[in-house]
Amino acid sequence: MKQYRIDELRPKDCKDLKAYLDERFGPSQMEGIYWVPLDDDLLDEVQSAHTDCRPLCFAVELKQTAISFELLIRTRNRVRCDCIRYANAAQRESIIRFADGIFETLKILA
C-alpha cells in the first residue's frame, strides 16, 4: 500500500492526533481508522463521473507510535469500482499538505 507515514510519535502526540481526528471526522468505527473525504475539485475525470460513489476518501490509520495517510482514493459504497485508484499528483500533494497541516496545527514536531 502506498502511504505517507510519520512514525516515532510520542504518547501525547498520539492522544492529540486522536482528539483532532475524532473531532473532525467522528470517532473511529474501526480502531484507529478515519475516512477523510477528498475535495471534489481534486477528482479526476472518472472519479467525477461516479457521483454514486461519493464521497471519495482516503484512509488515515493512527497507531500508538505512527500515523499513516493512505494514498489510495476509494469509495466507501463499493469494494470495487473504476474510480478507486491511487492518488494522482494533485491528490497526493493534497493528502501530504493535509497531514503536514495537522502537525502544524497541533504543534507536533515530526
pLDDT in tens, 27-44: 877 889 999 999 999 999
The average pLDDT across 62-83 equals 94
Q: What pLDDT is recorded for position 110?
A: 60
Residue 38 has φ and ψ, to the nearest 5°, of: -85, 140
The reported pTM is 0.92
Relative to beta strand 72-75, strand 66-70 is unpaired
Q: Are 20 and 28 in contact (CB under 8 A)?
A: no
Flag whether pLDDT at 49 surpasses 70: yes
**Residue 87 corresponds to which cell in the numbers above?**
492518488
* Neighbouring residues of 55: CB distance < 8 A, sequence distance ≥ 6: 37, 38, 75, 76
Nearest alpha-carbon partner for 27 in 55, 1, 62, 57:
62
Q: What pLDDT is recorded for position 47?
A: 96
The average pLDDT across 10-32 equals 92
